[in-house]
Chain A
Amino acid sequence: MALILTCPVCGKRNGYEFRYGGEDKGPRPAEAGLTPAAWCDYVHMNKCTAGVLKEWWFHRDGCGSWFTTWRDTTKNLEVAQPEASK
Protein backbone atom coordinates (compact mmCIF):
# COMPACT_ATOMS: atom_id res chain seq x y z
CA MET A 1 0.00 0.00 0.00
CA ALA A 2 1.54 3.25 -1.02
CA LEU A 3 -0.55 6.37 -0.74
CA ILE A 4 -0.01 9.12 -3.26
CA LEU A 5 -1.88 12.38 -2.84
CA THR A 6 -2.20 15.25 -5.24
CA CYS A 7 -1.36 18.46 -3.48
CA PRO A 8 -3.04 21.36 -5.26
CA VAL A 9 0.26 23.24 -5.10
CA CYS A 10 2.99 20.61 -5.36
CA GLY A 11 1.29 17.90 -7.41
CA LYS A 12 1.48 14.17 -6.80
CA ARG A 13 3.50 13.33 -3.73
CA ASN A 14 4.20 10.48 -1.34
CA GLY A 15 1.37 10.22 1.18
CA TYR A 16 3.77 10.33 4.10
CA GLU A 17 4.51 13.99 3.33
CA PHE A 18 0.97 14.78 4.45
CA ARG A 19 -0.99 14.82 7.64
CA TYR A 20 -4.55 13.57 7.71
CA GLY A 21 -7.02 16.16 8.93
CA GLY A 22 -10.22 14.25 9.42
CA GLU A 23 -13.46 13.68 7.55
CA ASP A 24 -14.85 16.85 6.07
CA LYS A 25 -17.59 18.11 8.39
CA GLY A 26 -17.92 21.64 7.09
CA PRO A 27 -17.19 24.97 8.80
CA ARG A 28 -17.10 25.39 12.57
CA PRO A 29 -20.59 25.64 13.98
CA ALA A 30 -21.59 28.83 15.77
CA GLU A 31 -21.15 28.68 19.53
CA ALA A 32 -24.58 29.90 20.52
CA GLY A 33 -26.98 27.12 21.43
CA LEU A 34 -24.66 24.32 20.47
CA THR A 35 -25.75 21.23 22.42
CA PRO A 36 -23.18 18.79 23.78
CA ALA A 37 -24.41 16.18 21.31
CA ALA A 38 -24.12 18.52 18.33
CA TRP A 39 -20.71 19.69 19.51
CA CYS A 40 -19.57 16.06 19.92
CA ASP A 41 -20.89 15.20 16.49
CA TYR A 42 -18.74 17.93 14.96
CA VAL A 43 -15.63 17.27 16.99
CA HIS A 44 -15.46 13.51 17.52
CA MET A 45 -17.94 11.55 15.45
CA ASN A 46 -17.09 9.94 12.14
CA LYS A 47 -18.93 8.07 9.46
CA CYS A 48 -16.05 5.63 9.00
CA THR A 49 -17.13 5.07 5.43
CA ALA A 50 -15.73 2.00 3.75
CA GLY A 51 -15.61 3.67 0.38
CA VAL A 52 -15.09 7.15 -0.97
CA LEU A 53 -14.70 9.85 1.61
CA LYS A 54 -14.11 13.60 1.42
CA GLU A 55 -11.38 14.47 3.82
CA TRP A 56 -8.82 17.09 4.80
CA TRP A 57 -5.09 16.79 4.32
CA PHE A 58 -2.18 19.07 5.10
CA HIS A 59 1.03 19.13 3.07
CA ARG A 60 3.23 19.12 6.14
CA ASP A 61 6.57 18.36 4.50
CA GLY A 62 5.80 20.52 1.50
CA CYS A 63 4.00 23.76 0.77
CA GLY A 64 1.91 23.87 3.94
CA SER A 65 -1.53 23.82 2.31
CA TRP A 66 -4.69 22.37 3.80
CA PHE A 67 -6.87 20.89 1.12
CA THR A 68 -9.69 18.41 0.68
CA THR A 69 -9.51 15.33 -1.43
CA TRP A 70 -11.63 12.29 -2.14
CA ARG A 71 -10.13 8.96 -1.20
CA ASP A 72 -11.41 5.41 -1.35
CA THR A 73 -10.72 3.95 2.07
CA THR A 74 -11.09 0.41 0.80
CA LYS A 75 -8.24 0.90 -1.66
CA ASN A 76 -6.31 3.73 -0.06
CA LEU A 77 -6.32 5.52 -3.40
CA GLU A 78 -7.23 9.07 -4.28
CA VAL A 79 -10.24 9.14 -6.59
CA ALA A 80 -10.46 12.66 -7.96
CA GLN A 81 -8.64 15.95 -8.12
CA PRO A 82 -8.70 17.90 -4.87
CA GLU A 83 -9.74 21.46 -4.32
CA ALA A 84 -7.48 23.93 -2.51
CA SER A 85 -8.67 25.68 0.61
CA LYS A 86 -8.96 29.42 0.26
Chain B
Amino acid sequence: MVAIKRQSPVQFKVSPRNTEVRDNWTVALEYDEEGRGPWLADLAHKTRWDLQDSKVGEQRPCDLAVPATPGSCTFANDTLVNRMNRTQTSVYHLGAAAPALPDFAGYTDVTESTVFLALFGPKAFHIAEKLSALDFLDPAKQAPFLYQGPFCHVPCQIVTLEKAADGSGGFLLTCSRGYGDSMIHAILEAGSSLGLRPAGENRFSAWIRGLQE
Protein backbone atom coordinates (compact mmCIF):
# COMPACT_ATOMS: atom_id res chain seq x y z
CA MET B 1 0.00 0.00 0.00
CA VAL B 2 1.40 3.35 -0.99
CA ALA B 3 1.59 5.87 1.84
CA ILE B 4 -0.09 9.21 1.20
CA LYS B 5 2.72 11.58 1.91
CA ARG B 6 3.91 14.81 0.42
CA GLN B 7 7.38 15.54 -0.84
CA SER B 8 9.25 18.78 -0.55
CA PRO B 9 11.14 19.99 -3.63
CA VAL B 10 14.15 20.27 -1.38
CA GLN B 11 16.11 17.45 0.21
CA PHE B 12 19.01 18.08 2.58
CA LYS B 13 21.71 15.45 2.81
CA VAL B 14 21.41 15.28 6.61
CA SER B 15 18.32 13.85 8.28
CA PRO B 16 16.48 15.83 10.93
CA ARG B 17 16.58 14.85 14.57
CA ASN B 18 12.92 15.64 15.18
CA THR B 19 10.08 15.65 12.70
CA GLU B 20 6.34 16.10 12.83
CA VAL B 21 3.75 14.99 10.29
CA ARG B 22 1.38 17.79 9.36
CA ASP B 23 -1.13 17.65 6.50
CA ASN B 24 0.86 14.71 5.06
CA TRP B 25 4.11 16.72 5.11
CA THR B 26 7.00 15.46 7.18
CA VAL B 27 8.14 18.67 8.78
CA ALA B 28 11.73 18.83 10.06
CA LEU B 29 11.67 20.50 13.44
CA GLU B 30 15.32 20.27 14.34
CA TYR B 31 18.61 18.99 12.93
CA ASP B 32 21.65 17.68 14.75
CA GLU B 33 24.37 20.28 14.97
CA GLU B 34 22.57 23.20 13.46
CA GLY B 35 25.59 25.30 14.39
CA ARG B 36 25.65 29.00 15.16
CA GLY B 37 24.31 30.15 11.85
CA PRO B 38 23.75 31.08 9.16
CA TRP B 39 20.90 28.62 8.66
CA LEU B 40 18.84 27.36 5.79
CA ALA B 41 15.32 26.12 6.47
CA ASP B 42 12.94 24.36 4.09
CA LEU B 43 9.47 25.87 4.35
CA ALA B 44 7.84 23.99 1.47
CA HIS B 45 4.95 22.99 3.72
CA LYS B 46 4.00 26.59 4.53
CA THR B 47 0.93 27.71 2.59
CA ARG B 48 1.33 30.42 -0.05
CA TRP B 49 -1.41 32.21 -1.95
CA ASP B 50 -1.44 34.29 -5.07
CA LEU B 51 -3.97 37.10 -5.06
CA GLN B 52 -4.73 39.04 -8.20
CA ASP B 53 -7.38 41.60 -8.82
CA SER B 54 -7.61 44.93 -10.56
CA LYS B 55 -8.38 46.40 -7.13
CA VAL B 56 -6.04 44.24 -5.15
CA GLY B 57 -5.28 47.09 -2.76
CA GLU B 58 -8.79 46.83 -1.38
CA GLN B 59 -8.44 43.17 -0.44
CA ARG B 60 -7.76 42.14 3.16
CA PRO B 61 -6.17 38.68 3.19
CA CYS B 62 -6.39 37.25 6.73
CA ASP B 63 -7.64 40.63 7.77
CA LEU B 64 -4.35 42.27 6.88
CA ALA B 65 -3.90 45.26 4.65
CA VAL B 66 -2.39 44.86 1.21
CA PRO B 67 0.46 47.38 1.08
CA ALA B 68 -0.07 50.27 -1.28
CA THR B 69 3.24 50.18 -3.10
CA PRO B 70 4.85 47.25 -4.91
CA GLY B 71 7.83 45.91 -2.99
CA SER B 72 6.25 46.64 0.39
CA CYS B 73 5.09 43.98 2.83
CA THR B 74 2.71 43.67 5.74
CA PHE B 75 3.95 41.25 8.37
CA ALA B 76 1.77 40.34 11.36
CA ASN B 77 0.24 37.30 12.97
CA ASP B 78 2.77 35.03 11.27
CA THR B 79 1.38 36.16 7.93
CA LEU B 80 3.23 38.06 5.28
CA VAL B 81 1.45 40.01 2.56
CA ASN B 82 3.73 41.13 -0.26
CA ARG B 83 2.60 43.62 -2.87
CA MET B 84 4.07 42.48 -6.20
CA ASN B 85 2.70 44.93 -8.75
CA ARG B 86 -0.37 46.95 -9.59
CA THR B 87 -2.69 43.97 -9.49
CA GLN B 88 -0.87 41.21 -7.67
CA THR B 89 0.01 40.22 -4.12
CA SER B 90 1.49 37.13 -2.56
CA VAL B 91 0.48 35.87 0.87
CA TYR B 92 2.76 33.62 2.94
CA HIS B 93 1.47 31.80 6.01
CA LEU B 94 4.48 31.26 8.23
CA GLY B 95 2.74 29.83 11.28
CA ALA B 96 1.93 26.22 12.06
CA ALA B 97 -1.41 26.20 10.26
CA ALA B 98 -3.02 28.19 7.49
CA PRO B 99 -6.62 29.20 6.99
CA ALA B 100 -8.66 27.82 4.09
CA LEU B 101 -8.35 29.58 0.75
CA PRO B 102 -10.87 32.47 0.79
CA ASP B 103 -13.83 32.12 -1.49
CA PHE B 104 -12.84 34.88 -3.83
CA ALA B 105 -11.88 34.19 -7.42
CA GLY B 106 -8.70 36.25 -7.22
CA TYR B 107 -7.00 33.75 -4.92
CA THR B 108 -4.94 30.81 -6.14
CA ASP B 109 -3.18 28.43 -3.77
CA VAL B 110 0.39 28.34 -5.07
CA THR B 111 1.97 26.38 -2.23
CA GLU B 112 2.84 23.66 -4.71
CA SER B 113 4.34 26.04 -7.26
CA THR B 114 7.48 27.04 -5.51
CA VAL B 115 10.50 26.19 -3.50
CA PHE B 116 10.20 28.05 -0.18
CA LEU B 117 13.34 28.63 1.85
CA ALA B 118 14.49 30.80 4.70
CA LEU B 119 18.14 31.82 4.90
CA PHE B 120 18.88 33.61 8.15
CA GLY B 121 21.42 34.28 10.83
CA PRO B 122 24.85 35.85 10.81
CA LYS B 123 26.35 36.52 7.35
CA ALA B 124 23.10 35.56 5.63
CA PHE B 125 23.58 38.38 3.15
CA HIS B 126 27.21 37.51 2.53
CA ILE B 127 25.86 34.31 1.09
CA ALA B 128 23.23 36.20 -0.86
CA GLU B 129 25.79 38.45 -2.53
CA LYS B 130 27.52 35.39 -3.94
CA LEU B 131 24.36 34.44 -5.74
CA SER B 132 22.58 37.64 -6.62
CA ALA B 133 23.29 41.22 -7.60
CA LEU B 134 20.15 42.46 -5.83
CA ASP B 135 20.91 45.01 -3.14
CA PHE B 136 19.48 43.46 0.02
CA LEU B 137 21.36 45.83 2.31
CA ASP B 138 20.22 49.00 0.55
CA PRO B 139 20.16 51.55 3.39
CA ALA B 140 17.09 53.15 1.83
CA LYS B 141 15.02 50.00 2.37
CA GLN B 142 13.33 49.01 5.63
CA ALA B 143 12.64 45.35 6.31
CA PRO B 144 10.38 43.69 5.51
CA PHE B 145 10.47 44.31 1.78
CA LEU B 146 10.00 42.26 -1.37
CA TYR B 147 12.35 41.86 -4.31
CA GLN B 148 11.28 40.11 -7.45
CA GLY B 149 14.46 39.33 -9.28
CA PRO B 150 17.12 36.79 -10.11
CA PHE B 151 18.86 34.74 -7.47
CA CYS B 152 21.40 32.36 -8.91
CA HIS B 153 20.01 33.19 -12.37
CA VAL B 154 16.51 32.02 -11.40
CA PRO B 155 13.63 34.49 -11.04
CA CYS B 156 12.61 34.58 -7.39
CA GLN B 157 10.47 36.39 -4.89
CA ILE B 158 12.68 37.32 -1.97
CA VAL B 159 11.38 38.93 1.20
CA THR B 160 14.00 40.43 3.46
CA LEU B 161 12.67 40.15 7.00
CA GLU B 162 15.67 41.44 8.91
CA LYS B 163 18.95 43.04 7.93
CA ALA B 164 21.98 44.70 9.44
CA ALA B 165 24.97 46.40 7.86
CA ASP B 166 27.23 43.52 8.93
CA GLY B 167 25.32 41.19 6.62
CA SER B 168 23.31 39.42 9.30
CA GLY B 169 19.54 39.05 9.21
CA GLY B 170 17.55 36.85 6.94
CA PHE B 171 15.19 36.46 4.04
CA LEU B 172 12.59 34.16 2.55
CA LEU B 173 13.00 32.95 -0.99
CA THR B 174 10.58 31.36 -3.42
CA CYS B 175 11.33 30.16 -6.94
CA SER B 176 9.82 27.64 -9.35
CA ARG B 177 9.58 24.31 -7.59
CA GLY B 178 11.55 22.49 -10.28
CA TYR B 179 14.69 24.41 -9.36
CA GLY B 180 14.74 22.95 -5.84
CA ASP B 181 17.71 20.64 -6.28
CA SER B 182 19.80 23.16 -8.24
CA MET B 183 18.99 26.02 -5.91
CA ILE B 184 19.82 24.11 -2.74
CA HIS B 185 23.08 22.96 -4.26
CA ALA B 186 24.02 26.50 -5.22
CA ILE B 187 23.11 28.03 -1.86
CA LEU B 188 24.88 25.38 0.17
CA GLU B 189 27.98 25.70 -2.00
CA ALA B 190 28.03 29.47 -1.62
CA GLY B 191 27.45 29.16 2.11
CA SER B 192 29.86 26.34 2.83
CA SER B 193 32.81 28.55 3.74
CA LEU B 194 30.54 30.72 5.91
CA GLY B 195 29.21 27.82 7.96
CA LEU B 196 25.74 27.52 6.45
CA ARG B 197 23.77 24.56 7.88
CA PRO B 198 20.24 23.24 7.48
CA ALA B 199 17.91 24.20 10.29
CA GLY B 200 14.52 22.93 11.36
CA GLU B 201 11.23 24.71 11.71
CA ASN B 202 11.78 25.40 15.42
CA ARG B 203 14.67 27.71 14.78
CA PHE B 204 12.83 29.44 11.97
CA SER B 205 9.75 29.94 14.15
CA ALA B 206 11.84 31.37 16.95
CA TRP B 207 13.43 33.80 14.53
CA ILE B 208 10.19 35.15 13.12
CA ARG B 209 8.60 35.24 16.57
CA GLY B 210 11.42 37.54 17.60
CA LEU B 211 10.81 39.74 14.60
CA GLN B 212 7.16 40.20 15.39
CA GLU B 213 7.66 41.14 19.04
Contacts and interface: CB of A to CB of B under 8 A. Distances in A.
Query: Are any A and B Cβ atoms less than 8 Å apart in their complex?
Result: yes
Chain B interface residue count: which class? 10 to 19
Residue among A9, A17, A59 with the highest chain B CB neighbour number at 10 A: A9
Contacts of B148: 10, 59, 61-64
A59 B88 CA distance: 15
Contacts of A84: 86
A14 B149 CA distance: 9
Contacts, number: 36
A60 interface: yes
Interface string B133-167: 10000000000000111100001000000000000
Contacts of A63: 70, 84-85, 88, 148
A7 to B, nearest CB: 9
Interface of B: 70-71, 84-86, 88, 133, 147-150, 155
Interface of A: 9-11, 13-14, 16-17, 59-65, 84
